[in-house]
Amino acid sequence: MKLDKYQKIEIEKFKKQNKKRTVQKSNYKWVIQTTLVAFMISLAFSFISEITIPNVNMLVGIILVIIFILIGVLFDIIGIAVASADIKPFHSMNAKKVKGSDISVSLIKNAAKVSSFCNDVVGDICGIVSGSASAIMAHIIATKLNINIFIVSLITTSIIAALTIGGKALGKSFAINKSNIILYESGRLISYFYKLKKE
């Protein structure tokens, strides 16, 4: 498709503007911290999964797998809510000393890091752990019910994948529509355990 004179001018302007933009350096400290935190959380969740599930009855094992899925969905909701929330009402609440509003403001200001932690770190870890937990559950079910392990693995993996994807899909629309409420409740809950340092 041929471009006319005015389209070419607009494209050149766009290119020049993008060249002028300063590229932010990667925050290596944040990357290292996130990697270490991811390792610790993954280690803790995997330990719980590997130690607990093989030693409990089938129902408790299924409940534990569902808990891992729900944690992943919950953090996915928080991550999206932080990225899509409006900071203005939280500034207003913070001025009136509403509990947790300062935390909410801080979360929005660090939305990229918070979203990365919630969606990528916790969300992905829960997905991986629930997957490995499903393999353990499949082995237990196949052994106890004397069913082919391949069929059981196929069904359990598919169910867990469907629940995870469906839960996150449902959570995304809820997070966008109720982002301010979710962020307010998250900030209020965090404020009971963590006090923000005053600048």
* DSSP per-residue letters across 76-131: HHHHHHHHH--SHHHHHHHHTT-TTHHHHHHHHHTHHHHHIIIIIIIHHHHHHHHH
Q: Are 40 and 79 in contact (CB under 8 A)?
A: no
- At 106 the pLDDT is 92
Distance CA 65, CA 68 (A): 5
The model's pTM: 0.78
Percent of the chain whose pLDDT exceeds 70: 85
Average pLDDT of the residues in 13-32: 62
pLDDT tens digits, 112-134: 889 989 988 898 888 888 888 88
